[in-house]
């Protein structure tokens, strides 16, 4: 008995293969040839499976016509028992052959070359909680699998501590790299809270074969985005009036307008879905960003906000400290207070994927009292290009 693929190729009989079972049967007495034959496969649940077609008797290699074949549709992976029975025309001479055969799991696609990075690469190593995570990989298929164009990706990222899972919703591929075959894929996971993560990539072809790759724990490490801190000469005095949502709203709109004027569609697309909210942040913190959520301290770390009534200009900041840095004069209502517009623009920079620095520009990690950093962000962000 031979258990094989109906369309032979290398490798074992797999769940995606049509199957052919061939056997030879010789009569005891040539005057009484084989009259009936029976072939059946039995699965682990005792379900009997009969061939969709039987052929024979036929001759192989110019021999006698005593060969038979049964064809089966593809079967699920598992171990099957076979039973072959033949009877001659006397109905008294009969023989039964039994045994077991194995159907392997379909090979389908394979996953290789996994890389974790960020959607907007910059010169700063690592991934922060305000930076979108991207996972790329390559996929190949064997002869039994449909083309790569018919493969469906699924990527899940799981926090190693909380076990909260995030599934990517945006995929790209297949595409080629360096002029090679179109076998690469990418998943935009979005931003993740600070922590370590394990990721799983699954690729399923149209025949139902699934390949999976699971990374080691800690394969993705996300650091907390640094908050914007106040730079003040002394401790805060008094109790400033807390900022309201109504006061915040026009400043948020002005910050978006300035960033959009400088960055164009990058800002329009990157700030889509962003939310700016009021919060009671820790001591010294003015703002903090996680993903697309910006938190603004209610009282500017106790120093009070300057809420610009005309945020489209810089009239209250008459002194120039640098190319993009202005300071309020002593008699200005902005003196001694934290500029809300600069703070909101800084945090929106994090939403767009930019890190803190110490160069005195818009993304500087500290903001002195009475200082405005203007939106010459085409220059400010040039180092990230």
Could you read off the pLDDT tens digit of each residue along the chain, which spans 385 residues?
Answer: 787 777 665 556 766 678 999 998 888 777 888 888 899 999 999 999 999 999 988 887 667 788 889 999 888 888 999 999 988 888 877 788 899 988 876 566 778 899 999 876 655 678 888 788 999 999 876 545 556 667 889 999 999 999 999 999 999 998 988 777 788 999 999 888 888 999 999 998 877 778 889 999 999 998 877 889 999 988 887 789 999 999 999 999 999 999 998 888 888 888 998 999 999 998 899 999 887 889 999 999 999 999 999 999 999 999 999 888 999 999 999 999 999 999 999 999 888 878 788 888 898 999 999 999 987 544 444 444 3
Mind listing the domains of the chain with CATH numbers? 2-103 (2.60.40.10), 109-223 (2.60.40), 228-384 (3.40.390)
Name, in order, each residue with C-beta under 8 angstroms of 296's C-beta and a sequence gap of 6 or more. Answer: 243, 248, 276, 277, 278, 279, 286, 287, 340, 343, 344, 347
DSSP readout, 204-272?
E-TTS-EEEEEPPTTSEEEEPPPPEEEE-SS---S-PPPP-HHHHHHHHHHHHHHHHHHHTHHHHHHTT
Tell me if 182 sits within 8 A of 176, measured CB to CB. Answer: yes
- Which residue, 307, 325, 312, is CA-closest to 257? 312
3-class SS of residue 342:
helix
- Which residue, 27, 118, 71, is CA-closest to 350? 118
Q: How big is the chain, counted in residues?
A: 385
Name, in order, each residue with C-beta under 8 angstroms of 298's C-beta and a sequence gap of 6 or more. Answer: 242, 243, 278, 279, 280
């Amino acid at each position: 008995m031979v258990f094989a693929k109906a369309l032979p190729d290398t490798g074992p009989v797999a769940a995606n293969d049509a199957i052919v079972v061939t056997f030879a049967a010789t009569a005891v007495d040539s005057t009484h040839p084989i009259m009936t034959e029976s072939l059946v496969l039995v699965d682990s649940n005792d379900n009997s499976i009969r061939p969709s077609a039987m052929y024979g008797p036929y001759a192989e290699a110019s021999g006698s016509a005593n060969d038979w074949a049964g064809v089966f549709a593809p079967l699920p992976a598992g171990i099957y028992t076979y039973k072959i029975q033949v009877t001659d025309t006397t109905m008294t001479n009969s023989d039964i052959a039994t045994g077991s055969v194995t159907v392997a799991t379909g090979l389908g696609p394979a996953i290789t070359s996994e890389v974790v990075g960020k959607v907007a690469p910059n010169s700063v190593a690592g991934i922060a909680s305000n930076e979108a995570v991207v996972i790329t990989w390559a996929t190949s298929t064997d002869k039994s699998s449909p083309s790569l164009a018919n493969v469906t990706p699924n990527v899940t990222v799981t926090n190693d501590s909380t076990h909260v899972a995030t599934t990517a919703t945006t995929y790209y591929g297949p595409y080629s790299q360096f002029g090679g075959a179109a076998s690469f894929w990418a998943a935009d996971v979005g931003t993740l809270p600070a922590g370590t993560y394990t990721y799983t990539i699954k690729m399923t072809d149209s025949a139902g074969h699934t390949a999976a790759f699971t990374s080691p724990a800690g394969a993705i490490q996300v650091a907390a985005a640094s908050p914007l801190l106040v730079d003040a000469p002394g401790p805060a005095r008094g109790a400033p009036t807390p900022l309201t949502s109504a006061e915040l709203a026009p400043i948020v709109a002005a910050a978006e307008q300035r960033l959009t004027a400088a960055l164009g569609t990058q800002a329009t697309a990157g700030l889509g879905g962003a939310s700016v909210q009021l919060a009671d942040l820790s001591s010294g913190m003015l703002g903090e960003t996680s993903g697309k959520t910006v938190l603004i301290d209610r009282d500017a770390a106790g120093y009070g906000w300057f809420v610009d009534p005309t945020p489209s200009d810089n009239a209250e900041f008459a002194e120039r400290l640098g190319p993009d840095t202005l300071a309020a004069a002593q008699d200005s209502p902005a003196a001694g207070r934290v500029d809300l517009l600069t703070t909101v623009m800084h945090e929106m920079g994090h939403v767009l994927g930019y890190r803190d620095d110490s160069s005195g520009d818009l993304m500087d990690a500290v903001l002195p009292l009475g200082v405005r950093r203007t939106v010459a962000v085409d220059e400010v962000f040039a180092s990230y290009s």
